Structure 1
């Protein structure tokens, strides 16, 4: 590995002792070199190490890493020839380096790994790490490196933020825990191997948002956002539940997930989202049970604001969603008889996030991850004002909208006889 020249930023990452390393980097910063060096270090630090490189697709793994990895490993280190079919290199110390694609998840399961590098993380599904790869490191206490370029505020951003919490952090239950994550953010210009003239040329030929995302390694908001007024730097923080205040719950009855957004109105008039209950593959009875479990002492203070369709949709036992809530002891169930227009619900949310005069009336506790994700990532279908539901992140926002449209509707104003 003596011929692998790394710059100071790469060296800082490679030498750090964190178990999980997250690198947010601009184009041509040297992500491939950093990944290649990490793979080789992991495979040679001890005998019989199983090391994987995972790209979004099997084809990308071959294109990004296979040839450069073969060229970097000295032949005297190898046991036999590299396996071109499986993209696998065996070393004389018994270690094996394999290249994989996240598009073939069944081939990633059930193997105990010692180290894994996930490249182009922004284009992978979170389940690739959370449900498939992370469990493979459990028995070996193995490590991981995540490498990518920002792509809106998706799960790669969440990984980056985990690494920014410091060596220890305070969990939601108040306990102090050691943080296995460390993260770095490196713009392209921090690489000493990229001429400044190339960066200047990119600035001239790229729009500001794209340049910030691709070269400055900044997380940018998505275009066509439905909840355009939301800014996590302004709206997200510590907004905790107050047992002395009434509870308002926006409810969406989508089966997967059932979404409950729990709010309280503060003495100053601000609405705080203090909690969320997002239940996948669930039903209305389970929602009622979960809310009752969390807030059994405040049952008389709870008001539900459900999807009006819940008054008509019947469950297996012949009851409507709203009947089930009533039987569970929830007496204040408020909804419009006519289903509110989607645009009206969206406008009512955006106005509370930021009105035309700059007033912010809505805040979100940082634990409400699904609502935050929905507010950031729900977008319109290209060229239309129809919500794009392909990502499935909009349901908590729908739940919020049933509450805001009922209690804080956007009223149409008449000016010179014209309705606006």
Structure 2
């Protein structure tokens, strides 16, 4: 079989001709991501006995974005059978093409894929890639094309940055490696099929930030961010653990994940987030074991700042989360007897990132990916000051807040009888 002829513009051809195993395309609206998906599938489908998946955020989106166009793109002579209900196409050469939705990730486990396309990746959960879809490529050494439009500095941004390291990169151990990742960023204007006047009309109809994100394929910070003072360009860098300094551990007891964030106050008064222990499907005992494993030589200089709810007795032996920490050897626990106001805790953290007079007193080591995601992607519910917990990003930031609120509380200021 030979691949069916489909038209590609210059940017699409650049991606199509690259043979890296992991490819990431960040593109503006109407750039031609669907066309690229179709031809990528057709090329792979020309080989015998391939299993090819196209995954969109939902099953319905997979159908509306690609199904009809894909059926038209594949030469009829190739097709043995089509299952409309399951959106599956079987070819005479033994290849199967299936369209899936990422909203039910457990249905995507346990297969070996030769080729995978993830579309609208910015709207798919991070765990669906790392825990579900990435493993499907392991036994087959399959390849993947990840396509999306920027939506804050989320996991799509992280994968995009892997492809920006160049043809070779140096590991943390100093080893030079061939980079299996390649990434591209294409604004809508690079598509020859969209009139420039349409793009300019969109520019006039949208706010600047939305236009940059949707049409210029620019990664932007999310609207309604809880930790609005955080800026990765300013606050993220190399902030290493110092064994000579006291260790502060902010602790959130959410089961999935259990979040421990390790901080150290520097001699200049700044607080550095130097490490994190994010354990999914875990418990307090496993968390205590992990912190002990990492910092067993420094137990005497370690202070936990736990969620006050950890004082409640809720375990089978009638012990509390704090009892478990004490039994593990952590004797220094600092916490409020009742929960601080959420707004106070958030304000304390934001003020450490940048105070009104421009001081920056909180910094984050670049390896603390979950903490960075929490600061960037925790948002308020629209039209409210209530934290939106649906995405589950907030837990490491909460852990930091329990510590910062105690050590650097926002003080109430009274001016002419008014409390501010």
Q: Do both share a fold (TM > 0.5)?
A: yes
Q: What residue number does 1:57 align with?
A: 58
Report matched runs for 1:13-412 at 5 Å: 13-44=15-46, 46-76=47-77, 78-80=78-80, 82-171=82-171, 176-412=176-412
Q: What residue number does 2:14 align with?
A: 12
Alpha-carbon offset, residue 176 of structure 1: 4.7
Q: In 1, Cα distance between the equivalents of 2:274 and 2:418?
A: 39
Q: In 2, Cα distance between the equivalents of 1:410 and 1:402?
A: 13
Q: Tell me the alpha carbon deviations over residues 237-287 of structure 1, each in whole angstroms, 9 at most, x when there is no partner.
A: 221111122111111222222211101112222211010111223222222
Q: Tell me the alpha carbon deviations over residues 194-246 of structure 1, each in whole angstroms, 9 at most, x when there is no partner.
A: 21111111111111121111101112222221111111121112211111221
Stretch moving more, 122-131 or 221-230: 122-131
Cα 1:178–1:241 shift into 2, 3 Å = farther
Cα 1:79–1:331 shift into 2, 3 Å = closer
SS of residue paired to 2:343? helix
Q: In 1, Cα distance between the equivalents of 2:381 and 2:282?
A: 28
Q: In 1, Cα distance between the equivalents of 2:342 and 2:308?
A: 13
Alpha-carbon offset, residue 316 of structure 1: 2.1
Cα 1:312–1:54 shift into 2, 3 Å = closer
Query: What TM-score do you get using the length of structure 2 for normalisation?
Result: 0.93
Give the total of aligned pairs: 418
Q: In 2, Cα distance between the equivalents of 1:260 and 1:290?
A: 10
Q: Tell me the alpha carbon deviations over residues 105-160 of structure 1, each in whole angstroms, 9 at most, x when there is no partner.
A: 45433332210111111122233322332222222211010111112222222221
State whether residues 4 and 75 of structure 2, in contact with CA within 8 Å, keep that contact through their aligned partners in structure 1.
no
Cα 1:404–1:103 shift into 2, 3 Å = closer
SS of residue paired to 1:40? helix
Cα 1:323–1:79 shift into 2, 3 Å = closer
Cα 1:334–1:153 shift into 2, 3 Å = same
Stretch moving more, 10-19 or 79-88: 79-88
Cα 1:301–1:40 shift into 2, 3 Å = same
Alpha-carbon offset, residue 389 of structure 1: 1.6
Cα 1:168–1:300 shift into 2, 3 Å = farther
Give unmatched runs, 5+ long, in structure 2. none
Q: In 2, Cα distance between the equivalents of 1:283 and 1:83?
A: 44
Q: In 1, Cα distance between the equivalents of 2:345 and 2:43?
A: 53
Q: In 2, Cα distance between the equivalents of 1:204 and 1:169?
A: 41
Cα 1:313–1:218 shift into 2, 3 Å = farther
SS of residue paired to 1:333? coil
Alpha-carbon offset, residue 3 of structure 1: 4.4
Give unmatched runs, 5+ long, in structure 1. none
Q: In 2, Cα distance between the equivalents of 1:7 and 1:395?
A: 44
State whether residues 4 and 73 of structure 2, in contact with CA within 8 Å, keep that contact through their aligned partners in structure 1.
no
State whether residues 23 and 144 of structure 2, in contact with CA within 8 Å, keep that contact through their aligned partners in structure 1.
yes
Query: What TM-score do you get using the length of structure 1 for normalisation?
Result: 0.93
State whether residues 4 and 74 of structure 2, in contact with CA within 8 Å, keep that contact through their aligned partners in structure 1.
no
Q: Tell me the alpha carbon deviations over residues 36-74 of structure 1, each in whole angstroms, 9 at most, x when there is no partner.
A: 111111112x32222222222222222211222222223
Stretch moving more, 23-32 or 136-145: 136-145
Alpha-carbon offset, residue 2 of structure 1: 6.5
Q: In 1, Cα distance between the equivalents of 2:383 and 2:79?
A: 56
Q: Tell me the alpha carbon deviations over residues 360-386 of structure 1, each in whole angstroms, 9 at most, x when there is no partner.
A: 111111111111111111112222222
Alpha-carbon offset, residue 175 of structure 1: 5.0
SS of residue paired to 1:295? helix
SS of residue paired to 1:332? coil
Cα 1:54–1:267 shift into 2, 3 Å = same
